[in-house]
Structure 1
Amino acid sequence: MRKLILLFIAVSMFGQLRAQDLKTKNIIIVTLDGFRWQELYRGADSALLNSKFTKDKDEMTRKFWAPDAASRRKLLLPFFWNVIAEKGQLYGNRDMGNKSEVANPYHFSYPGYNEILTGFPDVRINFNDPNPNPNVNVLEYLNKQKGFENKVAAFTSWHIFPAILNEKRSGLLINSGYANFKDPKANERLKYLSEIQHKVPELLGPDIRLDFLTFELGKAYLKQYKPRVLYMGFAETDDLAHEGSYKFYLQSANKEDGFLNELWQYLQSDPQYKDKTTLIITSDHGRGEAPLEKWMGHGTDTPNSEQSWFAVIGPDTPPTGIVKTQTTTYHKQLAQTISNLLGFDFKAAAGHEVGDAVGSVTGK
Structure 2
Amino acid sequence: MRLIYLLCSLFISSFALAQPAQNIILVTLDGVRWQEIFNGADSTLLFDPVFSRDTAGAHKQFWASTPTERRKRLTPFLWNTIGQQGQLYGNRQQGSRMNVSNPHWFSYPGYNEILSGYADDRIKSKDKIDNPNVTVLEFLNKQPGFAGKVGVFSSWDVIEAAVNEKKTGIYASSANEPSQPRTAADSLLSDITTLYPRENGDGVRADFLTYFAARQYVKQNQPRVLFLSFDETDDLAHAGRYLDHLRMLQSIDGYLANLWQLVQTMPQYAGKTAIVITTDHGRGHTPKARWKDHGTKTADSYQIWLAAMGEGISATGEQKNGPVLFQNQIAATLAQLLGFEFKTDHPVGKAIDTISGANR
TM-score (norm 2): 0.93
Q: Distance in 1 between matches of 2:302 and 2:147?
A: 34
Specify which of 262, 265, 275 is matched with residue 266 of structure 1: 262
Match of 1:362 in 2: 356
Deviation at 1:170, TM superposition (A): 1.1
The number of residues matched between the two structures is 343
SS where residue 363 of structure 1 aligns? helix
Q: Distance in 1 between matches of 2:131 and 2:202?
A: 23
- Cα contact 1:180–1:195 (8 A) shared by 2: no
- Cα contact 1:115–1:121 (8 A) shared by 2: yes
* 1:44 paired to 2:41: yes
Deviation at 1:77, TM superposition (A): 0.4
Code of the residue aligned with 1:338 in structure 2: it is: L
Specify which of 156, 160, 163 is matched with residue 161 of structure 2: 163
Code of the residue aligned with 1:274 in structure 2: it is: A
Deviation at 1:163, TM superposition (A): 1.2
Code of the residue aligned with 2:73 in structure 1: it is: L
Deviation at 1:20, TM superposition (A): 10
SS where residue 240 of structure 2 aligns? coil
Q: Name stretches of at least 5 consecutive residues in structure 2 with no aligned partner.
A: 1-14
Deviation at 1:43, TM superposition (A): 0.2
* 1:191 paired to 2:187: yes
Q: Name stretches of at least 5 consecutive residues in structure 1 with no aligned partner.
A: 1-17
Code of the residue aligned with 2:42 in structure 1: it is: D
Q: Distance in 2 between matches of 1:331 and 1:43?
A: 23
Q: Distance in 2 between matches of 1:219 and 1:181?
A: 15
Match of 1:24 in 2: 21
Equivalent positions of 1:287-298 (< 5 A) are: 287-298=283-294
Equivalent positions of 1:19-168 (< 5 A) are: 21-51=18-48, 52-168=50-166
- Cα contact 1:281–1:312 (8 A) shared by 2: yes
Deviation at 1:267, TM superposition (A): 1.2
Match of 1:331 in 2: 327
Code of the residue aligned with 1:48 in structure 2: it is: L
Q: Distance in 2 between matches of 1:161 and 1:133?
A: 10
SS where residue 234 of structure 2 aligns? helix
- Cα contact 2:137–2:150 (8 A) shared by 1: yes
**4+ residue runs over 3 A deviation:** 18-21
Q: Distance in 2 between matches of 1:170 and 1:20?
A: 33
- Cα contact 2:18–2:312 (8 A) shared by 1: no
Q: Distance in 1 between matches of 2:322 and 2:223?
A: 36
Deviation at 1:165, TM superposition (A): 1.1
% of aligned pairs identical? 46
SS where residue 101 of structure 2 aligns? coil
TM-score (norm 1): 0.92
After superposition, the Cα gap between the structure-2 partners of 1:26 and 1:235, relative to the gap in structure 1 and judged at 3 Å, is: same
Q: Distance in 1 between matches of 2:221 and 2:199?
A: 30
Q: Distance in 2 between matches of 1:29 and 1:195?
A: 27
SS where residue 175 of structure 1 aligns? strand
SS where residue 37 of structure 2 aligns? helix
Equivalent positions of 1:239-278 (< 5 A) are: 239-278=235-274
- Cα contact 1:19–1:342 (8 A) shared by 2: no
Match of 2:217 in 1: 221
